[in-house]
Structure 1
Amino acid sequence: MTIDRKFVYGLLYGLLLALAATGVLLVVARRPPGRAVQLADAPTPVPARVYVLGAVARPGVYPLPRNSIVEAALAAAGGPLAQADLSQLNLAQVLEDGDRVEVPHLPPTRTPAPPTRTPAPTITVGPGTPSPTPEPTATPIPAAPAASASRSAALAPGAKLNLNTATAAELEQLPRIGPATAQRILEYREAHGPFKSIEALMNVKGIGPATFEQVKDLITVD
């Protein structure tokens, strides 16, 4: 019986392939099983909640994308009003969750009230004939009463007043000597007798060194 060589070679080649495949399966079967890798879902970004109030069209809390600026918050609130003072805000400032954006109002402008004019009254002379308002006349101020002759009269140049013979009216001609002081000089002279010296005048109540300095050259006891 003759065996074809090609058949034998084919059979051997098939056996080798079968052995190789079996070896690969054994190696794979002996490897420890690996853990499956699960890909986590990308986190959804949470919007930043910003409270917008003040001079805006629709005040309230608005969700904004992260890293939004103040200008975006104003746009979400309907935009600023005409009387909004945007100079007080930094429109490029980045906002964070929970921030508060308050838009101030412009200060009110005060218009000064026009001065009120009171119409002058008219005087009716005849029936239906108004006369012009008379101009106010200045009321003359009465002159002050003239000073008494005893106060206005001055001592003659070089003359001196004798303290022992002078009357109250004559004493009042001296500087800083009034009616009350002149009367006290007379009472002192009556109680203590004639003045022995001009310096004794300072014994009278109300006459001190300052007054004596002003009258010492105008008085005498001789």
Structure 2
Amino acid sequence: MADFRRHIPTIIATSAFWILVFGAAFLFGLRRPPAQPIEILPPPTIGVKNSAPEPTATTAPLRVYVSGAVRAQGVYRLSPNSLVEDAISEAGGANEDADLIAINLAHPLSDGEQIYVPVRGEESPPPPLADKDAADSSRTKTFDLPDEPIDLNTATAAELESLPGVGPKTAALLIQERPYSSVEDLLRVKGIGEKTLEKLHPYIKVD
């Protein structure tokens, strides 16, 4: 017991020493600035420029004049890569007596083009118009119309060909289908529809 008492001062001194050491280390750790985060940078690029994407060019719409056997003749604006079929649709569609077989519906359009839709039995559609002034002054085909209505049962082939939309083939069919009891009998002739009959009505008769 006496020996233990002799070592008490040494134990106290040793304990105080380690307390001071650990205390100093603790205080030093609190005062040390926090470690900076490590930033990982991408590798440098050589010969590559960061440029904004180039704006895409906008294409102007096509202006197409549609005439003939359509519901609404006129100039229409269509998107690029449009076809003849699209132009006819913009014009309200083709009439009942339109001869769509005579034109290429899959033909790609170009700006300023004229699309003429003929009537069934029409021999020679009008040539394309060169400019807007010509289109304004001549929107429909012209004919040497008869001064008075002609009789469908007695008219010659030349007289029948003077009717709007009637060519040699249609005139021959009109003569072949005789006799007629009324003007409406023309509807039984191949290529003659309601629209064509409406155009012919002022120039024909049946006696």
Assess same fold via TM > 0.5: no
Q: Which has the larger radius of gyration?
A: 1
Give me the TM-score of the superposition, normalised by structure 2.
Answer: 0.39
**Whose RCO is larger (CA < 8 A, sep 6+)?**
2
